[in-house]
Each structure stands twice: as C-alpha cells, then as structure tokens.
Amino acid sequence: DAGVTQSPTHLIKTRGQHVTLRCSPISGHKSVSWYQQVLGQGPQFIFQYYEKEERGRGNFPDRFSARQFPNYSSELNVNALLLGDSALYLCASSFDPPRVEAFFGQGTRLTVV
Amino acid sequence: GESVGLHLPTLSVQEGDNSIINCAYSNSASDYFIWYKQESGKGPQFIIDIRSNMDKRQGQRVTVLLNKTVKHLSLQIAATQPGDSAVYFCAENSGNTPLVFGKGTRLSVIA
C-alpha cells in the first residue's frame, strides 16, 4: 500500500508567484491535513479537510487556501509568495477527523527566492 | 497562547545506551500526546502515543511517560541504535483541536 504521497518533492519559486502543492492520502483515508515546517521548527497546522469540507484552519493569512477533491486528494495553494513561505509543507492523512495524525507524507520543500 | 516545547535541543548518546527525550506542554486541557521521529528529508513518523488517562505506555524499545501534574512528557529509547538518530517531536491536542508540535530534539547516536 502506498503511503501519503506529495508532489512535487522540491520547488523553487520567485516572490509574488503562486504555488500549488498536491497530496494523495492513504487509500481509505478521508481526512487530509496540511502543515508548514520551517527549518529548525516543529510542523505548524495550516488546514484540515474531511469529506471535502474544511474542518480547521490554523493561523495563516488568506494567501493560503486548500481544497479536497472527491477522491480525497488535496491541494494547498499559496498566492503572492513571500520569502518567509520557504518551508517544508507536509500533508498528513487519517481515516477519521484526526485525533491521530499518524501518517505523514515526505513533504514538499518550497524555496522562495 | 498554548505551546509545546522541549527542554534540550540536542542530545548525544552512545550506541547501546538508553536515551531520554523530554517535552513540556502548557495546555492543561491536552489529553492526547504523540511522539514523532523525523529523519532528514522525510516527514514525521509516528512512534508512540498516550492518552491523558495513562501515565506510561510501552512499545518496541520505546516508552512514553506522562506526568500531568507538571505537564511533562518523556520518550525513552532503550539500547539506542545509529538508526535512531533523528529529530524527535512531541505533539499534543485536546478534543478536536489540531496537533501542536514542539520544536524538536535532535538525537545523535555515537557509534
């Protein structure tokens, strides 16, 4: 069984551009959460989606948005990129609305220059 | 605001010794705790969890201890191996709140 898969693995963008990151959850998992991990810090919660509905949102500006598709995959979009958006973006999936973020993807390393 | 933090940013241990990684949390309402291991270039990997109605839980070579009185969590790794070298995070939540992660402790195993 494939784990949580994210694409792309690495990405370089210029300030002001937008970016779309993708996540495919483990088969059967209906909940997807997104986290931002700045170098040297722990992951910080951005969004949680369950059954295609937003169930939670962290303290991030409106430049960050996400959605979940009927097949439970998800996209994270970031507009008007800032240098400070450079981070590892992690996706986690679980079957129920998570108490347990047991399964993380390998992340997408975003560098904004 | 609520936070989860770690006492030590780095920990070096001799191969074969036991490792203890500590974590302090501030949200007294937290009732679920998880330890993750993150290797370079990878996402966090679930190690072990514990609910607030327990004070100890054991897994394979790992033990998590929870002291709710002082809001302290620890991860003990027995017979530490080179493959245990990684950054370890504690995380907590309560109810349906999202997980809050600490900053992490880097464990280096000396062969």
Q: Digits of tens for pLDDT over chain B (111 positions)? A: 334 544 458 999 999 999 999 999 988 899 999 999 999 989 999 999 999 999 999 999 999 999 999 999 999 999 999 999 999 999 998 877 788 998 899 999 998
Quick check: A57 contacting B, CB < 8 Å?
no
Q: Tokens representing B30?
A: 């937290």
Predicted pLDDT of residue B3 = 45
Predicted pLDDT of residue B14 = 97
Quick check: A104 contacting B, CB < 8 Å?
yes
Q: Tokens representing A77?
A: 């979009």
Is there a contact between A88 and B104 (Cβ–Cβ < 8 Å)?
no
Q: How far is B108 from chain A (nearest CA, A)?
A: 15
Q: Tokens representing A105?
A: 């993807």
